[in-house]
Amino acid sequence: MVRTLAIGVFVLLVTGSSLAWAQAKAPCPEEKQGDEIVVQEEKGIMEYACIALAAALSVGLTGLATAMAQARIGSAGAGAIAENPKVLGAVIVLVAIPETMVILGFVIAFMLMSKL
């Protein structure tokens, strides 16, 4: 489970760094140089493709890592509840914790897609 969560955190870091790259590469629509206003070119198709791929990976890979973590936590939780029904609340909290990775993946994807 720790390995799966580590993979999810790694994916979030990679997609977060691609977000920083996308923000650094985003050109200003126009720059003023002296008395002239220079209009910069728009993004090329490759920049759009990279941003879209990073957004897809941020949701897809965090979803995969969360699914793997929840499968293990859920099966262990079902066994624990069968033995002791008083641990139901703790198991529900433990199953919900990996969902934060997917939520952060969605946030990163929305931030990336706002660059398109």
The DSSP symbol for 85 reads G
Three-state DSSP class for residue 78: helix
More confident residue, 15 or 95: 95
The b/e string for 35-46 (b: 16+ C-beta within 10 A; e otherwise) is eeeeeeeebeee
Q: Residue 50 burial by CB count (10 A; 0-12/13-18/19+): exposed, middle or buried?
A: middle
Mean pLDDT of the chain: 78
What are the pLDDT digits (tens) for 7-60? Answer: 766 766 666 666 555 555 555 555 555 566 655 556 677 788 888 888 888 888
| pLDDT recorded at residue 32 | 56
